[in-house]
Structure formats: structure tokens, C-alpha cells
Amino acid sequence: MRKFLWSFFEIVETVTVAIVAVFLIRTFVAQPFLVSGSSMEPTFRDGNYLLIDELAYRFREPGRGEVIVFRYPGDHRSFYIKRVIGMPGERVVIERDAVTVYLSDQTTKVLHEPYIDTLKGTFGRFEATLGADEYFVMGDNRGFSFDSRSWGPITRADIIGLVRFRLWPAQTAAIFSAPLY
């Protein structure tokens, strides 16, 4: 009987450690995310399974071009995936199929965006000036993306984490980093 109880205790201990480890990792380090919709095509497609790094932004601020997951400002129960285009204190201007960012030091940067389909582009005219804690985000599929052009900038507090890996489908598994502008 003693041997049975000891074995039972070891099983309970192992299961408890595993549950606590999974909880801590999912809460503070990384979590899975399933892409729903076409707003990030061609970079991410509907049904892609991603791994989100929740730890990186505890030590640094989000960077331009990084793909992030965040809480939708209109309903914090919904999560969105978009690309950071404008940073705090900047002005973002969209016109003539180009995205121009007016940096806080009065220089301008026209974004070269290799991740969007050049045939679809970024059409229309839009302008936004960001506050000290605001980020302008857009989907890569500009014609079919519900993003900062529709509901305004997001705040730093809304951001959950940085997309690091595409895990599924297996044939398109990849590691992601921000493009160089």
C-alpha cells in the first residue's frame, strides 16, 4: 500500500508541476494565436497558428514593422493581429499609394513595404497624429483590413505581444522579424 501511495503522490506532483509550468508560460512568456480572416495576407492566412512572444515588450517598446497581437480598442475581449506602422508622437500620412511617416525629429520616411501585395497597395487618403502612448497599426492586406484607419490608434496597454513564429501549417512554418525600412 505504501508503494502505491508513493507512486500516486509522484503522479500528482508531476501533473501539478506541469500545470503550473504551462500556466506560467502562457501567462508571462508566450501564447498561441489562431489567425482568423484575410487582413494580414499574404504574410499570414486564415487558419495560421502563431506563437506570440509576451515577454519582449516587458523589456522594450514595439518597433515599426513588427507584427503584434493586441486587444481591439472597441471590445477588449477581441484580439487582432496587425503590423506597427506609426510610433508614439509621429504623424502618419497615406496618399498616392504610399505611407509616409513624419518622425518626431521632423524627418520623413516613406515606407517601403515588401510584405504587401503591390497590386492591391494602400489606396485612399488618411492622416493621423499619434499621442505619446499611441501606435498606428494596419493589416498587410490593405483593402480588406479593419485597422487604425477605421478606429484610430491603439495604446501601449492594448498590446499583448509580438508574433515570433508561424507553427501551422507545417510546410509554411517560419520565424518572423521586423522588416528594415
User: Which are the catalytic amino acids?
Assistant: 39, 82
Core vs surface per residue 58-84: b (16+ CB within 10 A) or e: eeeebebbbbbbbbeeeeeeebbbbbb
Map residue 19 onto helix, strand or coil. Answer: helix
Maximum alpha-carbon separation in the chain? 79
Query: In this structure, which amino acid lies at residue 129?
Result: T
Say whether 137 sits in a helix, a strand or coil: strand
β-bridge mates for residue 95, sequence order: 98
